[in-house]
């Protein structure tokens, strides 16, 4: 059985386009990054992602940023997101998203540290 698409099938480039909300991607426009398949609404969005996936891919592999800061590994919901510092963050749900936004800078620092430690362990 194939893996579900990254970001719940949402076009991750569309988060950065000033849309009222992100749009769903299509199986007609796909790209792979870090073992995950991303869907895009347009060929131009796919091409933008392919040229610089780090710019558009959700942080922590799409995991919930709040959970990551609190030593948990939970899939984020792409409907509850925030772009901060040019980075796309997902949260688990509306309640968690509200908590995350109250202390976002501190939680981002903690999440980054945990994610970097996780990556270092994987590479060792």
Q: What is the predicted pLDDT for the residue at 2?
A: 61
Q: What is the mean pLDDT of each run of 10 residues along the chain (124 residues)?
A: 83 88 95 96 98 97 96 95 96 97 97 91 76
Q: What is the predicted pLDDT for the residue at 1?
A: 35
Whole-number CA gyration radius for the chain:
14
The partner residues of 82 in beta bridges, in order of sequence, read 89
Q: What's this model's pTM, rounded to 2 decimal places?
A: 0.93
The partner residues of 88 in beta bridges, in order of sequence, read 83
Q: What is the predicted pLDDT for the residue at 123?
A: 78
- Whole-angstrom Cα distance, residue 61 to residue 33? 10
Q: Which 8-state DSSP code applies to residue 34?
A: T
Max Cα-Cα span within the chain: 42
């Amino acid at each position: 059985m194939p893996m579900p698409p990254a970001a719940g099938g949402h076009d991750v480039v569309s988060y950065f386009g000033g849309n009222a909300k992100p749009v769903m991607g299509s199986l007609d426009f796909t790209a792979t990054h870090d073992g995950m398949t991303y869907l895009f609404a347009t060929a131009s969005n796919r091409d933008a992602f392919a040229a610089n996936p780090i710019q558009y891919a959700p942080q922590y592999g799409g995991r919930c940023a709040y959970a990551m800061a609190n030593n948990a590994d939970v899939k984020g919901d792409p409907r509850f997101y925030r772009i901060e510092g040019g980075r796309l963050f997902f949260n688990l749900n509306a309640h968690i998203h509200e908590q995350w936004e109250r202390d976002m800078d501190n939680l981002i620092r903690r999440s980054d540290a945990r994610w970097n430690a996780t990556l270092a362990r994987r590479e060792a």
